[in-house]
């Protein structure tokens, strides 16, 4: 097994032109392969459209803190982390409340203060009736917050607040309940933010060279066809079909016609309770408690590894082919910072006595190696395609997981 230090020195610090990215908006955002009704032909068309510039309004996925914000019926801008905040007397937390709560966390305090002040300025222009159209409805805005330097993993040169969408809550029996979740449709907020440099809308990302893009699309589409043909499937079969075949390969002992275990492991479907599964699978009753933990992690990891690697590679190349990222002008500095962070993480984990951290870091580095150690300066790209919102991310996922092993050590 390659040592962690040798891996970093050999692979990362000898490749100055490489880049990084992946994750950061509220909640889970789907990868293309999470839409399991897509066929291989659908994925091929998607890749063609992406690299030929036919997908409009591609946006950068930011590596920031997510904050839900609104204005209460007293006209005060407040911030919401959970239902308790929303249903409190003030309808949320003030900037001071957040800074007091994270009094010992200087970085979090900085993000909440600087971003909170920007959001407050914008929301005050909109007025409380925008957020409280009547006494029983409230609009809560999904805000992504970045401060100059590092907010999470990626360093940025300037402060930035982006608005992703909003939620409508209805007051029922004295409690606010979610009525509607809307992605986008935040033009009024950006209009109120005119003149505030840190809250300018993210520009659309554009393919630099259609000719180069088509070349990469052909390469990736051959790999999609191979993924299906390796499992004996034609390209009109779906991702769900592909997962089924691989499930039988990696977990034959769990295969049943009812697909209860498959759906639980591969589709996060827990409609059949664990107690019922013990009755249906008596020979596995002692293993059922681990279905959602170690068993699922191993099985799903084996099933999805080639799909994960391919689409993270697609994301890496897509980012390289696009212009308009926030960090485009500081690419070398961003990559250098990420490599230094990774090296210090390797040092910390190697010096620790945590076998769990070492194993997790090793797997993250192996995942990065499968992506040819390629780094990008952005976390990812977000698109709407045929009515579906999805993300393309690359090596940021592996970097984020690797750096997380050090944070886990520091939290102990």
> What is the per-residue DSSP string for 117-150?
HHHHHHHHHH-HHHH-SBTTEEEEEEEEEE-SEE
pLDDT at 22: 29
pLDDT of residue 398: 87
Chain centroid to CA 272: how far?
28
Given a cut of 50, whether residue 20 has pLDDT beyond it is no
CA quadruple 328, 54, 227, 299: dihedral, nearest 10 = 60
Nearest to residue 59, comparing CAs of 385, 298, 351?
385
Considering only residues 61 and 409, tell me which one the structure prediction assigns the higher pLDDT: 61
Average pLDDT score over residue span 13-22: 37
Say what the pLDDT of residue 79 is.
Answer: 96
Q: Is the pLDDT of residue 16 over 50?
A: no
Name the band, by pLDDT with cuts 50, 70 and 90, for residue 376.
confident
**Highest mean pLDDT: which of 4-8, 204-208, 326-330?**
204-208
Predicted pLDDT of residue 28: 60
pLDDT at 24 over 70: no
Please tell me the pTM assigned to this model.
Answer: 0.83
Residues 242-252, mean pLDDT to the nearest whole number: 96
pLDDT at 393: 92
Query: Does 6 have pLDDT greater than 70?
Result: no
380-385: strand order across its sheet? 59-61, 380-385, 388-393
How large is the average pLDDT for residues 350-370? 90
What's CA 75's distance to the chain center, in Å? 33
Dump pLDDT digits (tens) for 122-164: 999 999 999 999 999 999 999 999 999 888 889 998 899 999 9
Task: Say what percent of the chain tops pLDDT 70.
Answer: 92
Q: Residues 55-78: pLDDT tens digits? A: 999 999 999 999 999 999 999 999
Check residue 411 and give its pLDDT: 58
- pLDDT tens digits, residue range 210-220? 999 999 999 99
Contacts 24+ apart (CB under 8 A), 195-200: 196/118, 196/121, 196/122, 197/158, 198/118, 198/158, 198/159, 198/160, 198/161, 199/118, 199/122, 199/160, 199/161, 199/162, 199/163
pLDDT for 198 beyond 70? yes
Task: Report d(CA 99, CA 105) in Å as an integer.
Answer: 9
Mean pLDDT of 273-302: 91
Tokens representing 287 are 């293993």
Q: Using the 8-state DSSP alphabet, how is residue 153 labeled? A: S
- Cβ(320)–Cβ(19) below 8 Å: yes
Percent of residues, the chain, with pLDDT higher than 90: 67
Give the β-pairing of 65-71 and 206-207: unpaired
Q: List the one residue out of 46, 322, 61, 331 whose CA is nearest residue 210.
A: 322
Q: What integer pLDDT is reported at residue 253 of this predicted model?
A: 92
Any residues with CB less than 8 A from the CB of 222 and at least 6 apart, and which?
none
C-alpha dist (Å) from residue 66 to 209, 347, 384: 33, 30, 20
């Amino acid at each position: 097994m390659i040592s962690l230090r040798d891996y970093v020195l050999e692979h990362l610090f000898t490749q100055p032109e490489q880049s990084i990215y992946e994750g950061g908006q509220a909640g889970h955002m789907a990868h293309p392969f999470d839409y399991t009704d897509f066929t291989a032909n659908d994925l091929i068309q998607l890749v063609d459209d992406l690299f030929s510039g036919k997908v409009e309004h591609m946006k950068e996925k930011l590596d920031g803190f997510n904050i839900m914000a609104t204005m209460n019926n007293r006209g005060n801008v407040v911030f919401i982390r959970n239902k308790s905040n929303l249903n409190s007397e003030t309808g949320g937390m003030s900037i001071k409340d957040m800074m007091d709560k994270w009094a010992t966390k200087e970085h979090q305090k900085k993000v909440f203060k600087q971003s909170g002040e920007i959001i407050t300025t914008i929301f005050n222009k909109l007025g409380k009736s925008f957020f409280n159209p009547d006494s029983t409805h409230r609009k809560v805005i999904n805000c992504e917050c970045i401060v100059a330097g590092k907010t999470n993993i990626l360093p940025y040169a300037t402060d930035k607040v982006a608005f992703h969408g909003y939620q409508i809550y209805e007051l029922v029996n004295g409690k606010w309940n979610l009525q509607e979740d809307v992605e986008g449709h935040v033009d009024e907020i950006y209009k109120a933010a005119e003149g505030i440099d840190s809250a300018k809308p993210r520009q659309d990302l554009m393919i630099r060279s259609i000719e180069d893009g088509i070349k990469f699309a052909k390469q990736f589409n051959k790999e999609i066809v191979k993924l299906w043909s390796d499992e004996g499937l034609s390209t009109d079969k779906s991702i769900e079909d592909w997962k089924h075949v691989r499930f039988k390969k990696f977990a034959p002992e769990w295969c049943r016609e009812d697909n209860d275990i498959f759906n639980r492991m591969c589709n996060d479907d827990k409609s059949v309770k664990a107690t019922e599964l013990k009755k249906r699978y008596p020979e596995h009753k002692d293993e059922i408690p681990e279905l959602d933990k170690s068993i699922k992690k191993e099985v799903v990891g084996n099933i999805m590894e080639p799909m994960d690697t391919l689409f993270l590679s697609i994301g890496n190349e897509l980012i390289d082919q696009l212009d308009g990222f926030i960090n485009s002008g500081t690419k070398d500095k961003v990559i250098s910072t990420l490599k230094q962070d990774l090296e210090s993480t390797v040092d910390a984990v190697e010096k620790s006595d945590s076998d769990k951290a070492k194993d997790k870091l090793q797997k993250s580095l192996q995942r990065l190696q499968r992506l040819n150690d390629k780094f990008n300066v952005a976390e990812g790209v977000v698109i709407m395609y045929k009515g579906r919102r999805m993300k393309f991310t690359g090596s940021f996922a592996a970097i984020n997981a690797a750096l997380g092993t050090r944070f886990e050590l520091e939290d102990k």
